[in-house]
Amino acid sequence: MASADCKSELEWVERVRSGGAVPLLEPDNCPNGWACPPGEKFMVRGPDYFSTRVKIPAGEYLLKPIGFDWIKSSTKIGEVLNHPNSRVRKVIEDEFPDGNKPFVWAFNLQVPSKDNYSAVAYFATTDPIPEGSLMDLFLKGDDGFRNSRLKLIANIVKGPWIVRKAVGEQAICIIGRALSCKYHLANNFIEVDVDIGSSMVASAIVHLAFGYITTLTVDLAFLIESQTQSELPERILGAVRFSELNPTSALPIEPSSHINAANLQSSLPTRLWKSIGQGFTHILNPSAQESDSTGSLHVNGSVDHEGAIKDAKK
């Protein structure tokens, strides 16, 4: 449906891509910027996964990468596409005043920090979503279905040893089982607000990584997990690379008037910080971790060893 190639795109896509606080750059050289990593960098469930447990390179994205926002606010940032000053929504409304708008998928990673940072990746398609496809089922399903299917693959491309140790070579997570997610669905978009601060262990990892953010290069891929034979092979919805982000580059935004009162609270309650030390113990001592189906282990090679770490929500 869409290629990971970031060149020669339509004018409205270029407007979205060039309008963020950090620039779109080439994947091999994107300091304080973002890029579109090759799909082959991610290993997904292959066509015979349930009998062989073999994963394959993901290949082409299903959606077109159209933008990335690095933003901050006085409160936790949610419902970005519903914000009256949403730059992505404004571009689409300007370019498509008579309807027939592209369908946008936004993934908003709410970073647990006192300055309420968010990293938001945007993807889109102008093609109809096939009836009965996993994307169609995801959009029409309830939050329980979405929480059980939305998967994140994270690769640390470049970074210090301590961050690589905490995250692993390739971390895989069913997001809704480990973190609190809110889904906002409209006629031409879906936004997933992922509250990283809802998990003690995830907060500890991100707090650690944030201290090295100006030296990190990270690839993130979003996909809907295939859980039956007919749904194989897995396909990536979209992926983004951000590299050496500078916190001072984040664009300040004013909170929307309809922000939920719960978002006015600090993103990192005191009781979470009291648990950080315990979180690091579990992160850096894998033998202390328990396995179930709520978190992630790390995949090294093409044969799958997916598992989980037991995570604790607030």
Is the pLDDT assigned to residue 299 strictly greater than 50? Answer: no
Q: What share of the chain is helix, strand, coil (3-state, %, to 5)?
A: 30, 30, 40
Least Cα distance to 88 among 69, 75, 71 occurs for 69
User: Can you give the pLDDT at residue 91?
Assistant: 95
User: Can you give the pLDDT at residue 155?
Assistant: 95
Rounded to whole angstroms, the Cα distance separating 32 from 246 reads: 6
Q: In which band, very low, low, confident or very high, does the pLDDT at 224 lie, cut at 50, 70 and 90?
A: very high
Amino acid at 133: S
Is the pLDDT assigned to residue 64 strictly greater than 50? Answer: yes
Structure tokens at 105: 């998928």
Residue 51 CB-density burial (10 A; 0-12 exposed, 13-18 middle, 19+ buried): exposed
User: Can you give the pLDDT at residue 1?
Assistant: 54
Report the pLDDT averaged over residues 189-209: 94
Rounded to whole angstroms, the Cα distance separating 84 from 213 reads: 30
User: Can you give the pLDDT at residue 294?
Assistant: 38
Tens digit of pLDDT for each residue in 91-147? 999 999 887 899 999 999 999 988 999 999 999 999 999 999 999 999 999 999 999
Contact 240, 222 (CB under 8 A): no
How far lies 124's CA from each of 8, 30, 186, in Å?
16, 22, 14
User: Can you give the pLDDT at residue 183?
Assistant: 98
Structure tokens at 145: 């279905």
Residue 116 falls in which region: left (phi positive, over 0), alpha (psi -120 to 50) or beta: left
Least Cα distance to 76 among 52, 41, 110, 37 occurs for 110
Q: How many CA atoms lie within 13 A of 64 on its CB side?
A: 21
Is the pLDDT assigned to residue 187 strictly greater than 50? Answer: yes
**What is the chain's mean pLDDT, rounded?**
84
Q: In which band, very low, low, confident or very high, does the pLDDT at 257 lie, cut at 50, 70 and 90?
A: low
User: Can you give the pLDDT at residue 291?
Assistant: 34
Is the pLDDT assigned to residue 220 strictly greater than 70? Answer: yes
How far lies 56's CA from each of 42, 45, 299, in Å?
8, 6, 12
- Report the SS3 class of residue 146: helix
Is the pLDDT assigned to residue 281 strictly greater than 90? Answer: no
